[in-house]
Amino acid sequence: MKNTDIKLQNQMIYSIYVRNHTSEGTFKAVEQDLDRIKELGTDIIWFLPIHPIGIKGKKGSLGCPYSIQDYRSVNPEYGTLDDFKHLVQEIHKRNMKCIIDVVYNHTSRDSVLSKEHPEFFYKNENNEMGNKVGDWTDVYDLDYSNHDLWDYLRDTLVYWAQIVDGFRCDVASFIPVEFWKYAQEAVFKVNPDCIWLAESVHLSFGHMARKKGMYAAKDVELYECFDMEYDYDIREVFEKYLEGKYALSHYAQALNFQENMYPSNYNKIRFLENHDTKRFVEYVNEEAPLINYSAMIFFLKGTTLIYAGQEYVNDHTPSLFEIDTINRHTGKNLSGLFNRLSEIQHDILGCDDFFDCDADDENDILVCVRENEQSIKVGIFSLKGNSGDVSIPLENGPYFNEIDGQPVFVVANMVHCDGWPIILNVKKGKR
């Protein structure tokens, strides 16, 4: 297990796609929004790929940011390298960190590497460059049997690690764990505090890949070299609950499975949406349930991810392939809620907490408990906004909700949930 800084569990990542974050779509324009982003409670800004985008076989009119022409330069549509460096400096001035996307499974079909080093690429049955995932038609897969490729990619990471604070590694499961270890050894020498986030793949995707004979590292293997992983291992269970196909208790069991499956300092990214999913309000658009889900992801064990526009309750899934600027004029704003939840995450939730949860399937209320030697924290989340009485492991008496300061009473080890989220924090030995 990687020697991860467990304090990452108490932090929030804010995800930005430069093209669609502002009307200008530039690095300089993002700078103007940094104070607002910081006020949300953000600790880390993650930029979707900032590199030039391929033209050959491109998707849409502008192409996909995950079809990269040159790993070692920036997209001129966003600005210059100096513009990006200045943006990173401004992020640091606000005590935030910056991570960038690393897309090392494939390149664009007209990439620098495909022209200069065709030996670095996977060849199909016709001995032509191709990809193993059929609908990724704008890219060619890299071939990790060539160790000269390892050196090129390692050196590229070392270069960027002197500018940024870490990397979000796209489909990291499809890239050999041994490569990540090899590259990280070199990066550590220039940036020993580098943050490593793996986009581990959905359970079904990894299963399909391994069944076909493709390499796909398991989540437990990725923890050997990554600080954080996606929670795609249980995302399909979560989505089946949202679709009404599973009971809430199925999701509770999956969360408990994670707690007992992975190393004690495991960190799963918790999110309602990201650039690869639908906007969450396509599932849930009523106020009380949405606030409950938002509170839940901050309370779950792991770093919280907010996708730009989520704070404005955007209901449109933005395109990766076109100019599709986020909507800041929805008339809705969860920024204050996110700020308070991030304060709770920073100041109340413990990095060494043991996590456990249970579900009231009748009322769709999730009860989560986080406990360490100093305190016990209880989160009650009514995911459909229903009222109900739930059992919690606290002594009878008065408490107050950390979210809004309102009193909460425990009677006969039961608490009444009125459809809005509750977070209680009790210091041990203080009552």
> What radius of gyration, in Å, describes the C-alpha atoms of the chain?
22
For residue 169, give the 3-state DSSP assignment.
strand
Q: Tokens 């790929």, residue?
A: 49
Q: What is the largest CA-CA distance in the chain?
A: 72
What is the model's pLDDT at position 430? 56
What is the model's pLDDT at position 428? 87
* % of the chain at pLDDT higher than 70: 99
Token pair of 153 as six digits: 């990619």
Residues 6+ apart with CB under 8 A from 145: none
pLDDT band at 312 (very low <50, low <70, confident <90, very high): very high
Confidence check: pLDDT of 298 > 90: yes
What is the model's pLDDT at position 249? 98
Tens of pLDDT, residues 320-329: 999 999 999 9
Pick from 123-127, 317-321, 323-327: least confident: 123-127
What is the model's pLDDT at position 136? 76
Percentages helix, strand, coil for the chain (3-state, rounded to 5) are: 35, 20, 45
Classify residue 271 by its DSSP letter: -
> How far is residue 238's CA from residue 246's CA, in Å, rounded to a whole number?
8
Per-residue CA distances from 337 to 270, 290, 341, 371, 382 (Å): 16, 11, 6, 24, 16
Backbone φ, ψ for residue 373 (5° rounding): -70, -25
Average pLDDT over residues 114-137: 89
Classify residue 168 by its DSSP letter: E
Tens of pLDDT, residues 9-35: 999 999 999 999 999 999 999 999 999
Confidence check: pLDDT of 111 > 70: yes
Nearest to 251 by CA among 391, 350, 364, 336: 364
What is the model's pLDDT at position 72? 98
For residue 51, give the 3-state DSSP assignment.
coil
Tens of pLDDT, residues 379-424: 999 999 999 999 999 999 999 999 999 999 999 999 999 999 999 9
What is the model's pLDDT at position 1? 54
Number of H-type helices and E-type strands within the chain: 13, 18
**232-242 helix and 203-211 helix, angle to the nearest 10 degrees:** 120
HSE value, Cβ hemisphere, 13 Å, CA-based, for 392: 34
Nearest to 13 by CA among 230, 190, 217: 230
Average pLDDT over residues 125-141: 86
Average pLDDT over residues 177-191: 98
Cα 264 → chain centroid: 19
What are the residues facing 46 on neighbouring strands? Answer: 15, 99
**Mean pLDDT estimate for the chain:** 96
First-to-last CA distance in the chain?
38
* Alpha helices (H) in 32-176, listed in sequence order: 34-39, 81-93, 112-116, 147-161
Confidence check: pLDDT of 248 > 90: yes
pTM for the full predicted model: 0.97
What is the model's pLDDT at position 264? 86
Confidence check: pLDDT of 5 > 90: no
What are the residues facing 359 on neighbouring strands? Answer: 366
